[in-house]
Amino acid sequence: MERIAVFPGSFDPVTKGHESIIRRALPLFDRMIIAIGDNGEKKSLFPLEKRLAWLNKIFAGDPRIEIDCYSGMTVDFCRKNKAGFILRGLRTSSDFEFERGIGQMNKLMFPGIETVFLLCEPEYASLSSSIVRDIIRNGGDVAQFVPAGISL
């Protein structure tokens, strides 16, 4: 059976931390769907179209990667796409506590799913979309924190 992973996130905006997790996880799976969760409650800084376009640009030309968006529960998106794995990155112990709750609830709702965690590269341990958004709001330069070729 094909090993399909979903990498869900807000990607508001995509960072080098996201890119690193995706590239490092690729050898583990046959295909990966990077899925932007369109969560109505969470107001994003960047519109969905822009976030989709960035991800498409970064991973263009890799047939193993598909970019999509979804609303509703991640496990429902996984079921619909026959994905057996959810990929998440871990930076800190608070990431772990947060992910543990979600991962275990997802497992109860969809026993066929396994959440796979990769530890982030040390240089990205403090990098988050929310810090990048703060820098942008304050007029700072975020070029070193976002994937090459992405202009915000």
Helix (H, G, I), strand (E, B) or coil at 84: coil
- Catalogue the long-range contacts made by 141-146 (C-beta closer than 8 Å, 24 or more residues apart): 145/15, 145/16, 146/13, 146/14, 146/15, 146/16
- From 9-17, 24-32, 56-64, 136-144, span contacting ligand ADP (CB under 6 A): 9-17
Q: Which two tokens stand for residue 146?
A: 């976002």
- Contact residues for 83 (Cβ-Cβ < 8 A; gap 6+): 4, 5, 6, 33, 77, 113
The answer to the question of residue 33 lying near ligand ADP (CB under 6 A) is no
**Is 10 a residue that touches ligand ADP (CB under 6 A)?**
yes
Quick one: which segment of 2-10, 51-59, 63-71, 105-113 binds ligand ADP (CB under 6 A)?
2-10
**Beta carbons of 118 and 25 less than 8 angstroms apart:** yes
Helix (H, G, I), strand (E, B) or coil at 66: strand
One of 42, 43, 93, 151 is an active-site residue; which one?
A: 42
Residue tagged active-site, from 16, 18, 51, 88: 18
The verdict on whether 91 is a catalytic residue reads yes
Is residue 89 a contact point for ligand ADP (CB under 6 A)? yes
129 is catalytic: yes
Question: Does 79 participate in catalysis according to the annotation?
Answer: no
Contact set with ligand ADP (CB under 6 A): 8-11, 15, 17-18, 21, 88-89, 91, 95, 120, 124, 127-129
Catalytic residues: 18, 42, 91, 129
